[in-house]
Amino acid sequence: MKKVLVARPTFPDVIERLKQYFDVDANLGDVLSQDEFARRLADRDGAFTAGEWVGEKELAGAPNLKVVANMAVGYNNFDMHAFDAHKVLGTNTPNVLNETTADFGWALMMAAARRVTESEHYLRAGKWQKWSFDSFLGTDVYGSTLGVIGMGRIGQALARRAAGFGMRVMYHNRSRVAPEIETELNAEYASKEDLLKRADHVVLVVPYSKESHHTIGAAELALMKPSATLTNIARGGIVDDAALIVALREKRIAAAGIDVFEGEPNFNRDFLALNNVVLTPHIASATESTRRAMANLAADNLIAGLGEGPRAGNPPNPINPDVLKK
């Protein structure tokens, strides 16, 4: 039997599925230290990860490794050059999380614009004495302009929601999407600068890479309207968190909704002193059915990638399919 490591806890029935095909070392405890992860990976043929860093050192130390299946659509925890060099297949879990993640982006944007968590904290703290005309005035979402940075599958799902809110949609992406998609979404392509100047609600959905590092920093925040909101459901590092904290503190933008952080879970604690930011712990894809779908898809990739099951040799989501050739 081939040997696999499940690097952090996942749904027990998914582990049972893997046990039908493999000798499974399942970590049921805390997130492994990088050294412990590398140690347990060393004799494995495959691994199921959810954010563990897999780079040159880890791959060089695991000579039998053939497949690493990430339970996430983003795979910036994989050094794909090292994967190619070691002929290891990386896989991810696209599509199954699109709508759930777009729902959550929408929820964060709405909560930031309409000051939902800030006003709830006020109520819970027993501060609510009277109704007042100027309590917690927010920014309208209906009829405003949505700016989507990163018009992939999740960005498009967000833009689709905008139609129900009578919003104009602007987007920025490395390349323009097909004209029929622009027409369907009623979305206008714009430079990043133009979008930041004109959008009322900016939502970030770009994958993390060296190129997208700090897509939003002090200079970009300075372009935004003082009434605008910024929502990050992409990855920590897409936003310069320290610059965002300054912009929020100085009310250079109205509010932010942040699900992903630089250095998470050790995020910049200065966020906690701010009322005008909604903070959530990387949960945009977190519904029971979507997380199950992601875990099962990661398992499908691992099973097929290691030559087992109904799709043996043909995993659904190869990131570097060239390593499967010959």
Q: Which residues bind ligand GLV (CB under 6 A)?
A: 72-74, 97, 285
Whether cis (ω within 30° of 0) applies to the bond prior to 265 is yes
Is there a catalytic annotation at residue 264?
yes
* Least distance to ligand GLV, CB of residue 31, Å: 15
* Least distance to ligand GLV, CB of residue 152, Å: 12
Q: CB-wise, 190 or 299, nearer to ligand GLV?
A: 299
Task: For residues 75 and 83, give the distance between their C-alpha atoms in angstroms, rounded to a whole number.
Answer: 12
Q: CB-wise, 55 or 74, nearer to ligand GLV?
A: 74
Adjacency order of strands within the sheet including 255-258: 187-189, 168-172, 145-149, 201-204, 229-232, 255-258, 277-279
Contacts of 86 (CB under 8 A, 6+ apart): 59, 60, 65
- If you write DSSP's letter for every residue of 91-135 in order, what string do you get? E---STTHHHHHHHHHHHHHHHHTTHHHHHHHHHTT---S--TTT
* Least distance to ligand GLV, CB of residue 73, Å: 4
* Cβ neighbour number for residue 1 with a 10 Å cutoff: 10
Is there a catalytic annotation at residue 291?
no
Q: CB-wise, 97 or 169, nearer to ligand GLV?
A: 97
Which amino acid, 205?
A: V
Is there a catalytic annotation at residue 213?
no
Contacts of 248 (CB under 8 A, 6+ apart): 255, 256, 274, 276, 277
* Least distance to ligand GLV, CB of residue 131, Å: 39
**Nearest 5°: phi and psi at 127?**
-90, -5
Which of 17, 44, 201, 282 is flagged as catalytic?
A: 282
> Which residue, chain included where needed, has tokens 């604690």?
269
Q: CB-wise, 72 or 111, nearer to ligand GLV?
A: 72
* Least distance to ligand GLV, CB of residue 174, Å: 18
Which of 44, 115, 201, 235 is flagged as catalytic?
A: 235
Q: CB-wise, 199 or 297, nearer to ligand GLV?
A: 297
* Cβ neighbour number for residue 186 with a 10 Å cutoff: 13
Partnered with residue 171 across adjacent β-strands are 148, 189
Q: CB-wise, 4 or 233, nearer to ligand GLV?
A: 233
* Least distance to ligand GLV, CB of residue 84, Å: 21
Which of 99, 184, 188, 264 is flagged as catalytic?
A: 264
Task: For residues 228 and 246, give the distance between their C-alpha atoms in angstroms, rounded to a whole number.
Answer: 15
Positions marked catalytic = 235, 264, 282
